[in-house]
Structure 1
Amino acid sequence: MEGFRLEEYLSRGTQRIVNEILKASIDNPKQSIFMLQYAGAARAAEKLRRKAEEEGEHIPPFLIASIARECNLHCKGCYARANESCPGECGQGTQDLKAVQLSREQWGDIFRQARELGIGFILLAGGEPFTRRDILEEAGKHRQILFPVFTNGTMLDTYFLKLLTDCRNLIPILSIEGNQGTTDERRGRGVYQRIMDSMEELMKRKLMFGASVTVTKKNLKEVTSDSFLDGLCQRGCRAVIFVEYVPADGNSYHLAPDEEDRTFMEKRLEKLREERDGMIYISFPGDEKSSGGCLAAGRGFFHINAAGGAEPCPFSPYSDTSLLNTTLREALKSPLFMRLKEEGILDGEHTGGCVLFGQENKVQALL
């Protein structure tokens, strides 16, 4: 993409996200006050990244951190289980980094390093992140960083609701597959109603939250329909993150969206963003395509697994560097990340699907 500047795109993207959250929280004074304060921190973080760029060092604005290995659900096609990130399913080789979990103190140090580098967003995932109360409490202390917490939405008890009220930088993103039948079919009977109950409690407390939707060929039309999105909006949801299904289990390629589906999604998102400005709509990896290539391995973000292994992304669970014995800055220059960039795998032709998952053999070979 001639003339494209990744850092400029990402900086505009992060500021746009902040502005959209501000707009979405206009009827929520406490959330708006926090977001105004965070907007100042986001600008300061951008200056740090820009300064590093001028000195020849690229700092991504995002991180993805899988803080937990445990999960109270067993969803069909779960990439964390397929990647052997859950208890009792760890393999050998690079997966050895996942045998333990980082402590609260270790994650706190990573969050501190991220803030000092200018990283303003850290997406918390798992497993189920709400199984790590200690890490969420620690994240809540780092107010200069926004932590979207990707959760199945079934563990939001009174304690966690108070934590979210006190720590506005923790924004729950509830996973949902569509309407009741579709959600329960993948996540388990009764899960949809538990998600609805959690949304009701969050709305009652005027807490900012979003939804994460795994998009398959089966539910594509359902989850992008006006009726489904209207239902989320009426329950207080202010952001929807569409994540294209990746058949990490090796047995469900028939569910993965194809090029026709991606084209439909792209056009539909364009219309949603134009006509429904009360909500934020993000597509992954669809929005990567417009940024000129895969943003993994430190170009736009990278993934830290529960044991501290630095991986290109959650769908490419390979690591040769651990945060147990290196700094966040040094992890950005891991041999694997550098080889992925040098080989041109990240900035090759982006058709819209997950670039690294589609080239898994090449990634493994670089190890």
Structure 2
Amino acid sequence: MKEFDIQEYMTHGVERVVSDAIKATLKNPKESAYMAKFAMASRSASKKRARLEAEGEHIPPFLIASITSSCNLHCAGCYSRCNNATEDTEPVRQLSDDDWLKVFDEADDLGVSFILLAGGEPLLRKGVIEAAGKKQNILFPIFTNGTYMADKYFDMFDKNRNLIPIMSIEGEKDATDKRRGDGVYDKLISNMDELNDRGLIYGASVTVTTENLKDVSSESFIGKLSDKGCKAVIFVEFVPVTDDSAHLAPGDEEREYLKKEIMRLRQEHPEMVFVSFPGDEKSSGGCIAAGRGFFHINSHGGAEPCPFSPYSDINVKETSLREAMNSRLFIALQNEGVLNDDHSGGCVLYEKRNEVETILGRA
């Protein structure tokens, strides 16, 4: 059996997303023109990563950057609030706009193609979003609750096509407002209409649970998003951070159902990009966190394996992004096989958090 090649696996994943994005924007000249340029930049970035791989240094194509710890919503079951990583007010000692620009510059130099901006609520950090807009070689999906979207952001997205708003939605109105708060669904629909009218590309992020799995993958829901101009749907499997919410986490049966539905949706909706996170890691070489395929930088600069695994032994404010990618914690997680360990499915790092804490104590 051929040995699993993480570099090849991640490169093919990037190529598929870029290819799907080009097809999804063919009828939109501005977006199609940008995506064609980004495809060239992405190929160049892949070559950079391949050169470094040949020299013994693995560079992941993705970063997840939580650019703020502040959020205005209190969504039921939010992993970030349960981990005390999100607060109502803007904390002190977060990375500045310039700090984040430095991270983006280093990522560009190393061949990182995608930086997912998250929070908290990332649109609270307008200066960081503006800094991201300057890095046209990198695509920045911005995971937002959508409540702060106004003309200043619509105009910014129009000017900087590498900024892609990804709005969180739980399905239809009742499900969305139940988890996110009254009136959120109507605001999201209003945003979608405005983005569509302006010809701007955007996507939706859906937290998949055992309760909404069939609804959020249905033609009724996906067809409605497509009609409103949505070009990407990112299915994020619910990760329980409290024992009383464990029943909401998809198991093997639900994950297999979602996998088949995504295959169907890709065939029936070529105008959209579909991504599942974390996806079926048990049959695709293991977890891609901790620098294998991506890692997470929290709002204070701590380099963590994943947003669901908030442990860090190095800070990008005090060191380079390159050094953070090779942190002792990340190397230990990879070398000791935790990322490939057998588990019940879903998030291996959350399930094996005691082992992660033990490794952190040694790192």
* Length-normalised TM-score, structure 2: 0.96
- The equivalent of 2:275 in structure 1 is 282
In 1, distance between residues paired with 2:76 and 2:88?
17
Over residues 77-105 of structure 1, what are the superposed CA-to-partner deviations in whole Å (9 max), with x where a residue is unaligned? 11111111123799xxxxxxx86210010
Which amino acid in 1 is paired with 2:98?
Answer: E
- The equivalent of 1:94 in structure 2 is none
- The equivalent of 2:58 in structure 1 is 58
- The equivalent of 2:27 in structure 1 is 27
- The equivalent of 1:245 in structure 2 is 238
Whether the aligned pair in 2 keeps the contact of 1:316 and 1:357 (CA below 8 Å) is yes
- The equivalent of 2:358 in structure 1 is 365
Over residues 268-296 of structure 1, what are the superposed CA-to-partner deviations in whole Å (9 max), with x where a residue is unaligned? 22222233222111111115444311000
Whether the aligned pair in 2 keeps the contact of 1:48 and 1:117 (CA below 8 Å) is yes
- Displacement of 1:351 in angstroms is 5.1
- The equivalent of 1:108 in structure 2 is 101
1:145 and 2:138 correspond? yes
1:168 counterpart (144, 161, 166): 161
Whether the aligned pair in 2 keeps the contact of 1:78 and 1:249 (CA below 8 Å) is no
Which amino acid in 2 is paired with 1:53?
Answer: E
SS at the partner of 1:172? strand
1:300 counterpart (286, 293, 311): 293
- Displacement of 1:6 in angstroms is 1.1
Over residues 312-350 of structure 1, what are the superposed CA-to-partner deviations in whole Å (9 max), with x where a residue is unaligned? 000000001101111011011111111111210012236
In 2, distance between residues paired with 1:171 and 1:329?
25
- CA distance 1:125–1:88, shift in 2 (3 Å): closer
Over residues 185-223 of structure 1, what are the superposed CA-to-partner deviations in whole Å (9 max), with x where a residue is unaligned? 000011100000010110011101110000011111110
Q: How much is the aligned-residue C-alpha RMSD, in angstroms?
A: 1.6
- The equivalent of 1:93 in structure 2 is none
- The equivalent of 2:110 in structure 1 is 117
- The equivalent of 1:12 in structure 2 is 12
- The equivalent of 2:176 in structure 1 is 183
In 2, distance between residues paired with 1:21 and 1:165?
17
Whether the aligned pair in 2 keeps the contact of 1:6 and 1:291 (CA below 8 Å) is no
- The equivalent of 1:95 in structure 2 is none
- Displacement of 1:252 in angstroms is 1.0
- Displacement of 1:181 in angstroms is 0.4
In 2, distance between residues paired with 1:89 and 1:29?
40
1:337 and 2:330 correspond? yes
Moved more, 155-164 or 350-359: 350-359
Runs of at least 4 residues off by over 3 Å: 287-290, 349-352
Moved more, 254-263 or 11-20: 254-263
Whether the aligned pair in 1 keeps the contact of 2:38 and 2:137 (CA below 8 Å) is yes
Which amino acid in 2 is paired with 1:71?
Answer: C
Unaligned 5+ segments in structure 1 are 91-97
- CA distance 1:366–1:289, shift in 2 (3 Å): same
Whether the aligned pair in 1 keeps the contact of 2:70 and 2:89 (CA below 8 Å) is no
In 2, distance between residues paired with 1:122 and 1:60?
11
Which amino acid in 1 is paired with 2:19?
Answer: N
SS at the partner of 1:42? helix
In 1, distance between residues paired with 2:257 and 2:153?
38
- Displacement of 1:352 in angstroms is 3.7
Aligned residue-pair number: 360
In 1, distance between residues paired with 2:57 and 2:284?
19
- Displacement of 1:247 in angstroms is 1.1
In 1, distance between residues paired with 2:144 and 2:281?
23
SS at the partner of 2:339? coil
Which amino acid in 2 is paired with 1:213?
Answer: V
SS at the partner of 2:73? coil
Which amino acid in 1 is paired with 2:44?
Answer: A
Unaligned 5+ segments in structure 2 are none
SS at the partner of 2:189? helix
Whether the aligned pair in 2 keeps the contact of 1:285 and 1:352 (CA below 8 Å) is no
1:38 and 2:71 correspond? no
1:313 and 2:325 correspond? no
1:74 and 2:67 correspond? no
In 2, distance between residues paired with 1:153 and 1:290?
34
- CA distance 1:289–1:168, shift in 2 (3 Å): farther
1:128 and 2:116 correspond? no
- Displacement of 1:167 in angstroms is 0.5
- Displacement of 1:299 in angstroms is 0.2
SS at the partner of 1:251? helix
Which amino acid in 2 is paired with 1:317?
Answer: P
Whether the aligned pair in 2 keeps the contact of 1:294 and 1:350 (CA below 8 Å) is no
